[in-house]
Amino acid sequence: MDLTDEGAVKQALANIDPTDVFITTWLRQPTEAENCRVNAGMVRNLLQAMDGKPLRHVALVTGLKHYMGPFEAYAKARPVTPFREEQPRLAYQNFYYDQEDEVFAAAERQGFGWSVHRPHTLIGYAVGNQMNMAATLGAYAAICKETGRPFVFPGSPQQYEAAVDVTDGRIIAKHLLWAATEPAARNNAFNIVNGEVFRWNWLWPKLASHLGVATAEYPGHAQPLEEQMAGMEPVWDAIVAKHGLQRNPLNKVVSWWHSDADLGRVIENFTDMTKSRDMGFTAYQNSLRSFTDAFDKFRAAKVLP
């Protein structure tokens, strides 16, 4: 179903009467103005197609760019950490805000409840995802191992040393279900992360050990993956053949640009979970295991060696 096509959405959903809708998709565009137009339009098309149906709850998944700003203005603001839900919107165009406004307006018209979920970097098993750090770091490690280079943290000194958190795909799934079924959560926005913080200077050698690759001392400056890994497609193809992996092209497995954006930030970024805790959501996820479990799933599926 093409969510950008209003007519196609209405036709596809004509005979479907959902009570709960979970909106987790987006389409990356070259400018934030286009991000706003396209991504808000997809939400609007979907919810217009729900008019007159027995819709009870709509959950919208956005993220921490709500606090840090869109990619065009990424981290230009200096939001106070830990990020809290009551912090005001930034004075930048942001497709998250436009998506929220579409949900709020439709809820007012149609009478359903809503929740907004703001994860940090999502960690889990997915192939072909545009924002997949676990697969990206796993492929980076495999290429380092194949070419004899060390597996070095590619991001900024600030990210290497500062407190940070992530969101396991399993914990956001629990959070979505909780918010859809907990009356107290109705019509609220929530942060959702694993529930602990870590530092990359602690985590990086543990990831290297799990992936079986040699690391080296952090050089004190960013070395973007998009630059380091340019032209590595033949190396990846050789790894695929050598280990009998799924025949996925490198650009289907990795998202260098996204991991560079996350690991290259020059501001601290971690998240407060008090609001969810106070309402009864107590799930927790070990962040090291978020990565190692994802690596193991990719290996078992023959996506990574």
Domain spans, the chain: 6-119, 128-164+197-268+286-301
Q: Residue 276 has what pLDDT?
A: 99
The one catalytic residue among 10, 53, 65, 297:
65
- The C-alpha angle 191, 170, 17, rounded to 5 degrees, equals 85
The one catalytic residue among 67, 96, 97, 140:
96
Rounded-to-integer distance, Cα 192 and Cα 176, Å: 10
| Amino acid occupying residue 93 | Q
Q: Residue 1 has what pLDDT?
A: 87
Q: How far is CA 246 from CA 11, 238, 253, 256, in A?
A: 35, 12, 10, 20
Q: Residue 301 has what pLDDT?
A: 98
Q: Which helix (H) or strand (E) holds 208?
A: helix 200-211
Rounded-to-integer distance, Cα 10 and Cα 3, Å: 10
Q: What is the CA radius of gyration of the chain?
A: 20
Q: Residue 72 has what pLDDT?
A: 83
- The C-alpha angle 211, 204, 67, rounded to 5 degrees, equals 125
What length does the chain have?
305
- The pLDDT profile of the chain, 305 residues, written as one tens digit per residue, is 899 999 999 999 999 999 999 999 999 999 999 999 999 999 999 999 999 999 999 999 999 999 999 988 877 788 999 999 999 999 999 999 999 999 999 999 999 999 999 999 999 999 998 889 999 999 999 999 999 999 999 999 999 999 999 999 999 999 999 999 999 999 999 999 999 999 999 999 999 999 999 999 999 999 999 999 999 999 999 999 999 999 999 999 999 999 999 999 999 999 999 999 999 999 999 999 999 999 999 999 999 99
Catalytic site includes residue 96: yes
Task: Please report where in the chains the tokens 């987790």 appear, as a residue.
Answer: 24
Task: Please report where in the chains the tokens 């890994």 appear, as a residue.
Answer: 229
Beta bridge pairs of residue 163: 199
Q: Residue 76 has what pLDDT?
A: 78
User: How far from each other are the two terminal CA atoms of the chain, in whole angstroms?
Assistant: 33
Q: Residue 75 has what pLDDT?
A: 72
Whole-model pTM?
A: 0.95
Q: Which two tokens stand for residue 125?
A: 């098993």
Q: Residue 200 has what pLDDT?
A: 99
Rounded-to-integer distance, Cα 109 and Cα 185, Å: 20
Catalytic site includes residue 92: no
Q: Which fold has domain 6-119?
A: Rossmann fold (3.40.50)
